[in-house]
Structure 1
Amino acid sequence: MTLASEDFNPLVPKAPELVIGLICFFVVFGLLGMKLLPSIEKVLSERRDQIEGGMERAGAAQAEAQALLEQYRAELAEARHEAARIVEKSREQGAALIGEMREEGQRQREAIVAAGHAQIEADKKQATTALRQDVGSLATELASRIVGESLQEHARQSGVIDRFLDDLEAKAAASPAVAK
């Protein structure tokens, strides 16, 4: 038994078993290669097509996105240009409106000043007339007291007083001209 157990090695197969095992291995490997290999290649090719198609679609989508981005940038630049144009136009209109308002204010000021001067001139004439009448009546009353007779006669009164006041005005107008 010792001899038989030395000849028998479980790790080394016998030659007929080795041949049958190799034949079975190649038959099974060949059958699997014929049946599974086409399916595996088909699945791999579909996956490759999906990946390549996805990359192409991604590239097309990226190109489209880039084109849209450029279009949006152009539209944004156009909108900014339009906004700047509108702002400039508004500034010009504002400046024109301010100028018109200044001119209108100047016209109104001149009209108010002219009306004021006219009112002053009218008040001056009215005051002069009232003063002439008051001076005339005072002068007539004073002259009546000095002379002792009534100088109330209207025609004589108005002519004498007017000549006297005209002479005073002429002398007053001549004195500033001489002083110059």
Structure 2
Amino acid sequence: MLTSTVTIAAAESVNPLIPTLPDLVWGTLAFIIVLAFFWWKVLPSMNKALDARRDAIEGRIEAAEAAQAEAQAALEKYTAQLADARAEAGRIREQARADGTAIVAELRDQAAAEAARITSNAHAQIEMERLSALTSLRSDVGSLALDLAGGVIGETLTEDAKAQAVVDRFLAELEASEKATS
């Protein structure tokens, strides 16, 4: 009998991998309670937190896109202003070149006019000095000729109008002969 009790006891021994019926009932009941708690309390608050996080991320993405669009518009505006400024600088540069060319031309004209005036004045002054020298030379030559003629004749010839006319006639003949030879 002892052997039969051991055999029956061995046959009735509990497998540690298979739970007993009361353990299954209580375990299932505890699982359902924990599942219900998570389903009604934890899961909604977790969903709220995840939704809030998603909304915050979407809001930041929208704000970043708006900021990027605004920056792009500012860049386009800046680029347009820069192009306008460069065009204006080019126009100003061309206007300055044109003004500089006009000023140089005006200064050249003024310099040419001043040079012509100075040349004209110099020619007039030279002509006046030539005539003055010629007049002075005629009177000096006339008086020397009269003195020389007086020394040859032995008498002093007075410088009257007749003597002056003789000297002028002689000088005119001399000038005419010089012009004919040249």
Q: TM-score under structure 1 normalisation?
A: 0.89
- 1:132 aligns with 138
**1:91-170 residue pairs with structure 2 within 5 A?**
91-170=97-176
Task: Write the mapping of 1:1-180 to structure 2, written as runs, cut at 5 A.
Answer: 7-176=13-182
- Code of the residue aligned with 2:69 in structure 1: it is A
Secondary structure in 1 aligned to 2:148? helix
1:110 CA displacement: 0.6
Structure 2 stretches of 5 or more lacking a match? 1-5
Counterpart in the other structure of 2:3: none
Question: Percent sequence identity over matched residues?
Answer: 47
1:156 Cα deviation after fit: 2.5
Aligned mates of 2:30, 2:154 — CA distance in 1: 177
Distance 2:75 2:101 in 1: 39
AA aligned opposite 2:47: E
For residue 120 of structure 1, what is the amino acid of its counterpart?
I
Q: Which runs of 5+ in 1 are unaligned?
A: none
- Deviation of 1:9 after TM superposition, in Å, equals 4.7
Aligned residues between the structures: 176
Q: How much does 1:10 deviate?
A: 4.4
CA distance in 2 between partners of 1:64 and 1:149 (Å): 120
Q: TM-score, normalised by structure 2?
A: 0.88
